[in-house]
Amino acid sequence: MNAVTARAYPNIALVKYWGKRDEALMLPAAGSLSLTLDAYATTTSVSFDEAEHDRFDLNGVAQSGESLRRVTRFLDLVRERAGSDARAQVVSHNEAPTGAGLASSASGFAALATAASAAAGLPDDPQSLSRLARRGSGSAARSIVSGVAVWHAGDGDATSFAEPVDAPEMHMVIVTIDERQKKVSSREAMRLTALTSPFYEGWVTSTELSLNAMLEACRDRDFTRIGRITESHALRMHAVIQSTDPPVRYLSPTSVAVFDAVVRLREQGIEAYSTADAGPNVAVLVQPGDADTVARELAEYGRVRAVGPGRGAHLLPAETA
Ligand code: DP6
């Protein structure tokens, strides 16, 4: 059968998702909000065939073990919905360093959901794709959407999807400090946080408040408020992660130095705000006109790249596949 190819980009959350209320359905403990980037794409082709097993090739390497099992579990959902038992060949190319906190699972499952849905003839409206992508990796629900996306906690599977939010144009300067795979996955650390952190309930409640404040700031197109909420929310997430038993710490001394450098940039009148996901790399939120200056200022801390808002997951025409 012919392969169907889709492309998706990672997203960086300004209000973070950290904790699930239902692991089987991948329902988050609270809603979140992100910016889909226009860099570090994942391009994935899916074709169903008569083979005995699913095959998953990532950046030219045939996958086995947990990496393959995760894709097979996801494809089982697609097969169940399509009433088919055909196995799939999945060929994926990821431009971001996998597993280093640059949200490769978000672009990965958004691209896989989009390509597999098309290959299996499933609904291709953004809500269905977002709900499906969520089952692969929570944050993937948001990479279905272009630019700024809110992922609703919802009250069940049908209502927990991401959709676009009107917001001022924002860019990010990504400071890559360490490309190595992180030692504790976000999924594992999230579970540990819910189970062992004495601050978990406060984190969930305050995330709901941060999300409401963020949605209001987006509506008002108030970049300063968006940035302040982004930075303090990120630090809160890292605080609750560090409060687990055993403790997990993703930020390195260099990550903290970047947060400090960004505070100094603000003191000099350049509006920039830091955030970081489950890894040491830092994403700095800026207005489009400041991206080059901020990238120059932060170049001493790691590899810097200025990125803008990107497109949600989409199919590629057959000839480019
Ligand atoms: C820190 O979406 O990778 O990037 O749902 O278990 O696959 P699973 O986790 P994942 O976690 C993302 C965590 C985060 C915050 C965010 O993107 O909102």
List, as one string, the DSSP characters of 197-253.
-TTHHHHHHHHHHHHHHHHHHHHTT-HHHHHHHHHHHHHHHHHHHHTSSS------H
Distance in Å, CA 88 to ligand 1 centroid: 26
CB of 103 closer than 8 Å to CB of 139: yes
Is 13's C-beta closer than 6 angstroms to any atom of ligand 1?
yes
Please state whether 252 falls in left (phi above 0), alpha (psi between -120 and 50) or beta. Answer: beta
- Residue written as token pair 């200056």: 293
For ligand 1, whether the C-beta of 314 sits within 6 Å is no
Whether 193 is in the pocket of ligand 1, judged by its Cβ within 6 Å, is: no
Nearest CA to 248 out of 180, 194, 167, 297 is that of 194
Report the mean per-residue pLDDT for the chain. 95
Q: How far is the CA of 26 from the centre of ligand 1 (A)?
A: 11
What distance in Å separates the CA atoms of residue 92 and residue 55, rounded to the nearest whole number? 11
The model's pTM: 0.96
Question: Looking at 93-97, 217-221, 238-242, 250-254, which range is the least confident one?
Answer: 93-97
User: In angstroms, how far is CA 97 from the centroid of its own chain?
Assistant: 13
Q: Does ligand 1 have an atom closer than 6 angstroms to the CB of 210?
A: no
- Residue nearest ligand 1's atom 14 by CA: 277
Q: Is 152 in the pocket of ligand 1 (CB under 6 A)?
A: no
- pLDDT tens for 27-43 read 999 999 999 999 999 99
Q: Which two tokens stand for residue 247?
A: 């403790």
Kindly give the distance from the C-alpha atom of residue 54 to the centroid of ligand 1, in angstroms, as a whole number.
Answer: 25
Ligand 1 centroid, distance to 71 Cα (angstroms): 17
Atom of ligand 1 at shortest range from CA of 32: 18
Sequence-ordered strand ranges (E) for 152-302: 162-164, 171-176, 272-275, 282-286
Ligand 1 pocket residue status of 138, Cβ below 6 Å: yes
Q: What is the model's pLDDT at position 100?
A: 47
Nearest ligand 1 atom to the CA of 17 is 18
Q: What is the pLDDT of residue 102?
A: 59
Atom of ligand 1 nearest to the CA of 278: 1
**β-sheet bridge partners, residue 91:** 45, 57
Q: How many Å apart are CA 124 and CA 210, to the nearest integer?
A: 31
Q: Closest Cα to residue 30, out of 244, 212, 223? A: 212
Q: How far apart are the C-alpha atoms of 64 and 22, rounded to whole Å? A: 27
Per-residue pLDDT tens for 153-205? Answer: 999 999 999 999 999 999 999 999 987 777 899 999 999 999 999 999 999 99
Atom of ligand 1 nearest to the CA of 109: 7
- In three-state secondary structure terms, 25 is coil
